[in-house]
Amino acid sequence: MALLAFALPDLEAAFAAWCDWLAHERRAAARTQAGYRRDLAAFVAFVADHQGGPVGLPAIAALTPQSFRGWLAWRLGQGYAKSSTQRAVAAVRGFLDFLDARHGIHNPALRAMRAPRARRPLPRPLAVAEVTELTDAAASADQPPWVLARDTALLLLLYGAGLRIGEALELQPGGLPGAGESALRVIGKGRKVRLVPLLPVVREALAAYCDACPHPLPADGPLFRGVRGGKLQPAVVQRRVRELRRALGLPETATPHSLRHSFATHLLGGGADLRSIQELLGHASLSTTQLYTAVDAEGLARLYAAAHPRA
């Protein structure tokens, strides 16, 4: 990945090594890698523009707090969202940490700054009745029977196990729980493995799909297949859910990922503790899981307002 005309050879080589480290040692998700590469390339372009020429490692080491403040002010003036700037700051900090560890190039200036705090949007779960409508509709649409079985099994899996769509589509038949087993082995972000219990209704739906699928399902191949037998793509699932929600009159927030939100919110409402939900979702930080407490509190407030005689 080149830094275009803005980097001298020493910085270009360090950037390539950092990209390789992100992919093979840190094992960052592909989208994270792509975002970090873009962010760092834009940062180097900004520095080059302000110093009037290509940037090398000595210039990066010499950057001052004023340099970083100028960069943040420029991003603000360009209309970047706070969440985007937070990621860009994380990318630059990560690269500087890499330079410090691998090349002994130390620049603490960025550490003295705080990225703009972005308000994290609350998850938008579906009601239990809406989830039921969605999964029932997936089993009765105008599609080949095996496709209906596939879509039903996939949506039940997303809701019943709280998987991300990418995690579900990476599953292999050989990874499904066998006789006497009750947990699904899921490979999440950063290639971290977690075990998620499978409800009987989800196991039955997966078995029905495997029996109905007309394509070979070798143990080490993708479990969910497209119409032509290749690996099912996220865009196909998203389009299918979009069609179903429009037919049912469900809100625009009814997406494959909202089933994961619904899984967590409904567990919390049923009395599950946050630590358990964190483990099931594969969240690295408990603070991410704590967002669902705000969602549950909102639901309680609505119930209170609707039911209390003095509300």
pLDDT per residue over 60-100, tens digit each?
Answer: 999 998 899 899 999 989 988 888 888 999 999 999 999 99
Residues 69 and 159 in one domain: no
Q: How many distinct structural domains can be found in the chain? A: 2
Maximum Cα–Cα distance for the chain, whole Å?
72
Residues 225 and 258 in one domain: yes
215: containing domain: 128-307
Residues 31 and 70 in one domain: yes
CATH number of the domain where residue 159 is located? 1.10.443.10
Task: For residues 46 and 55, give the distance between their C-alpha atoms in angstroms, rounded to a whole number.
Answer: 10
Residues 97 and 138 in one domain: no
**Residue finishing a domain among 112, 137, 160:** 112
Residues 29 and 161 in one domain: no
Query: pLDDT tens digits for 181-229?
Result: 878 889 888 788 898 899 999 999 999 999 999 999 999 999 999 999 9
Query: pLDDT tens digits for 256-283?
Result: 999 999 998 888 888 888 888 888 888 8
Residue type at 35 in one-letter notation: G
Q: Which residue has the higher pLDDT, 310 or 271?
A: 271
| 233 CB-side CA count, 13 A | 6
Residues 151 and 241 in one domain: yes
Residues 134 and 93 in one domain: no
CATH number of the domain where residue 54 is located? 1.10.150.130
Residue 4 lies in a domain: no
Global confidence as pTM:
0.65
Residues with catalytic roles: 164, 189, 257, 260, 283, 292
